[in-house]
Amino acid sequence: MALSERDKEAIRAFCVDEYTDFVIYTHLAKREKRDDFKQLLRKMAGQEFRHYEFWKSLSGRDCASEMPKWKLTLVTLSRILFGLTFTVKFLERHEEQVIEAYKQFIPKLPPDASARLSEILRDEELHEKSLVSELNEGVVRYIGFIALGLADAVVEITGVHAGFLGATTTTLAAGVAGLIVGLSAAISMAAAAYIQAKHESVKNPIPSALATGIAYIAAVVLLAAPYFITHSNILAFVISVILAFGLVVAFTFYSSVINESNFKREVVESTVVLFATALVSYLFGTILGKIFGLQSIFHH
């Protein structure tokens, strides 16, 4: 069966994709200090290289020069900032689409090539997942827990600000209240992170707890900042909610990659909780403000 121009373009794209993965895993292996992780990355690089050679043979010419160099820079940055587990799992998130595309190509190829592509599919579906599961970074799993906890914390602080939006027009009171609640919650989260780190057998859980507390406080300060730079409670709240939404998306995305969960579903759930909490807190604050006359108290 003759391949169409569209099929040839797809083969070219597959070749570039597999070569890019080979270069990336080779690069990560060279930078990795742990011998067990270095060996795993080398195995993954070897598989990707074999896949690349297959598509290269079908393409008829080398595609190495077409590799997007910027991907290597982004992967290196991701490895430094977010850890190896996150980086590798993020790279593997597109594998389901790749597998489906490969399956559609099997009937289009000659018998020998189809058999080889079936072997590659087994690599993609089984071997690579098995190798990725061996990247057992306890600290990174724990950081995923922190990210999810911070997402919940952002919802809590937003609720506090929304409550004061209904209770008073004074931005200073809302900002200070958010800082007070946030500081208390940061101590609680740091303690929980300490316990979690010990559970994950982290050698020294104290830095982990401190990192959690500092990250939490930084998020709280960021959300409270608009209340100290404007006298409009509504404007401060809108800016704070936008920042909160951005943090929730970022934290949820990180957790979804680490835990291999559905990002879209989780971010929708977190967003609904964020705005529902803000609405309920606003209504509750409005009721309390009218009952106790908080508007006049804080205004004066």
Same domain, 105 and 152: no
Same domain, 111 and 232: no
Question: Domain containing 278: what range?
Answer: 138-299
CA–CA dist 237, 250 (Å, integer): 20
Same domain, 110 and 254: no
Structure tokens at 144: 């995923």
Instruction: Please identify every stretch of the chain with a pLDDT value under 70, giving residue numbers as ranges.
Output: 1-2, 127-130, 133, 135-146, 148-149, 166-169, 200-203, 288-290, 292-300
Give the single-character DSSP code of 123: I
Q: What integer pLDDT is reported at residue 149 of this predicted model?
A: 66
What is the domain-level CATH number for residue 73? 1.20.1260
CA–CA dist 282, 195 (Å, integer): 34
Residue with tokens 């909490």: 277
Same domain, 102 and 24: yes
Residues counted in the chain: 300
Nearest to 41 by CA among 28, 54, 31: 28
CA–CA dist 199, 195 (Å, integer): 6
Nearest to 40 by CA among 124, 135, 179: 135
Same domain, 175 and 281: yes
Structure tokens at 138: 């306890």
Same domain, 281 and 174: yes
| CA distances for 130 relative to 133, 136, 150, 203, 278, angstroms | 5, 11, 30, 26, 42
Residue ending a domain, among 110, 133, 156, is 133
Same domain, 145 and 291: yes
Same domain, 173 and 128: no
Same domain, 89 and 31: yes
Same domain, 171 and 227: yes
Over residues 121-140, the pLDDT tens digits come to: 888 777 666 677 676 665 56
Residue ending a domain, among 133, 159, 181, is 133
CB-CB neighbours of 202 under 10 Å: 18
Same domain, 147 and 277: yes
Nearest to 213 by CA among 183, 258, 235: 183
Same domain, 291 and 168: yes
How many independent structural domains does the chain possess?
2
Contacts of 185 (CB under 8 A, 6+ apart): 153, 156, 157, 216, 220
Over residues 235-244, the pLDDT tens digits come to: 988 898 899 8
Contacts of 235 (CB under 8 A, 6+ apart): 226
Q: What integer pLDDT is reported at residue 22 of this predicted model?
A: 94
pTM of the model: 0.75
CA–CA dist 271, 202 (Å, integer): 32
Measure the CA angle with vertex 155, ends 264 and 238; round to 5°.
95
Structure tokens at 289: 């403000």
Residue ending a domain, among 86, 106, 133, is 133
